Amino acid sequence: MPQAKTLAIDFTQEESVLQIYPQVPLLSSKDLSWQGIHLSYYRQPPHETLEYAPKQYLISIHLGQPVTLQQHWQEGNSTKEIQMYGDVSIYPTARSLKETWDADSEFLEIYLMPTLFSQAAGEFVDVDRLEILPQPSIRDPLIQQLGLSLKAELESAVSESSGRVGNRLFAESASTMLAVHLIRQYSSQESIIQDDPNKLPKYKLQVAIEYIQAHLSEDISLEALAQEVGMSMYHFSRLFKRSLGYSPYQYVLKCRVEQAKILLLQRQLNIADVAFTVGFSSQSHFTQHFKRFVGATPKQFLNQ
């Protein structure tokens, strides 16, 4: 009998996913402008997959009731684990396996594009020789926290009529952290990524700030900011936060809120128009972050 062909699965494409999963995701980032990362949230019935190999680096976070997960890898290794809420599994790209789970399964999958590792940390590691090792059913609080934060961001985005401005910067920041974390913790290659105690040179910090101010109403990306100052996304993010005390994502939100305060006090635009003018895609999103930074809602701020 001929051996079954291994399926190369592109998890960003639903028709590809349906080759191994019985149902499409309940939530997906496919319609958002996220770069380097894709997110899908599933509820799947008991199932046995065909043999497949991911085209992306895959991180799966179990979010439902306990299930028994069996994995059979191409090297002949097999595992059988009871997956509990929050358990994380890591799947390298192009490494084939088959899976079986014995009950309804609820899980979040994060797909990191291979190009992300070059953009995030190419100056620190030889990406061409990078090997992420498979990890079945581990506990990793950082991955769990980032995954749940990305899921919350995705849920907020799909509840709006259009993708929220700011999602892209948040997603790219989280994906950079995940890529570096995988290199540090789960790579066969000795990592030389070190925490840099220095700050951004003043001229590079000024370039980044001027870029943010000039594009405040747009969907600013971490990749674009890093390119402006000629650094990797990881290195830029670390030094930017050390320089200002805010991550790039937090700083952009802060700048938008400060600009909104000026426009509100001019009393020429209503609150919804102010929100859109400074780069928020909805009044509710604007109100949420305005209150976090100012301690009052926009309406309360105007009535003070």
Per-residue pLDDT at 126? 67
CATH number, domain of 98, equals 2.60.120.10
Do 115 and 214 share a domain, yes or no? no
Determine the Cα–Cα distance for residues 24 and 22; give it in Å rounded to an integer.
7
Per-residue pLDDT at 25? 96
Do 206 and 122 share a domain, yes or no? no
- Find the domain containing 272 and state its range: 202-303
- 192 lies in some domain: no
Q: Domain ends where: 186, 213, 235?
A: 186
pLDDT in tens, the chain (304 residues): 445 689 999 999 999 999 999 999 999 998 888 889 999 999 999 999 999 999 999 999 999 999 999 999 887 789 999 999 999 999 999 889 999 999 999 999 999 998 888 877 666 666 677 788 999 889 999 999 999 999 988 888 777 654 444 478 888 889 999 998 998 889 876 655 555 568 888 889 999 999 999 999 888 999 999 999 998 888 899 899 999 989 999 999 999 999 999 999 888 889 999 998 998 878 888 898 899 899 999 999 888 7
Q: What angle do CA 124, 129, 133 make, to 5 degrees?
A: 95
Question: How many domains is the chain partitioned into structurally?
Answer: 2
The letter for the amino acid at 65 is Q
CATH number, domain of 220, equals 1.10.10.60
Do 237 and 291 share a domain, yes or no? yes
Do 15 and 138 share a domain, yes or no? yes
DSSP structural state of residue 187: B
- 194 lies in some domain: no
Do 262 and 150 share a domain, yes or no? no
Determine the Cα–Cα distance for residues 35 and 56; give it in Å rounded to an integer.
13
Do 40 and 130 share a domain, yes or no? yes
- 83 lies in some domain: yes
Q: Domain ends where: 160, 186, 212?
A: 186
User: Which residues have CB under 8 Å from 41's CB, separation 6+?
Assistant: 25, 26, 27, 28, 63, 107, 108, 109, 151, 154
Q: Domain ends where: 158, 186, 214?
A: 186
Do 21 and 136 share a domain, yes or no? yes
Per-residue pLDDT at 109? 98
Phi-psi region of 256 (alpha: psi -120 to 50; beta: other; left: phi over 0): alpha
Determine the Cα–Cα distance for residues 290 and 257; give it in Å rounded to an integer.
6
Structure token pair of residue 233: 């996304």
Do 221 and 180 share a domain, yes or no? no
Per-residue pLDDT at 163? 46
Question: Which one, of 176, 76, 92, lies nearest residue 136 by Cα?
Answer: 92
- 196 lies in some domain: no
CB atoms within 10 A of CB 110: 26
Do 296 and 244 share a domain, yes or no? yes
Per-residue pLDDT at 160? 64
Do 78 and 222 share a domain, yes or no? no
Do 23 and 125 share a domain, yes or no? yes
Sign of CA dihedral 99, 114, 60, 168: negative
Do 169 and 213 share a domain, yes or no? no
Answer yes or no: pTM beyond 0.85: no
- 197 lies in some domain: no
Determine the Cα–Cα distance for residues 154 and 43; give it in Å rounded to an integer.
16
- 145 lies in some domain: yes
**Pairing relation of β-strands 52-54 and 7-9?**
parallel
- 191 lies in some domain: no
Residue 82, φ and ψ in degrees, nearest 5: -90, 115
- 195 lies in some domain: no
The letter for the amino acid at 302 is L
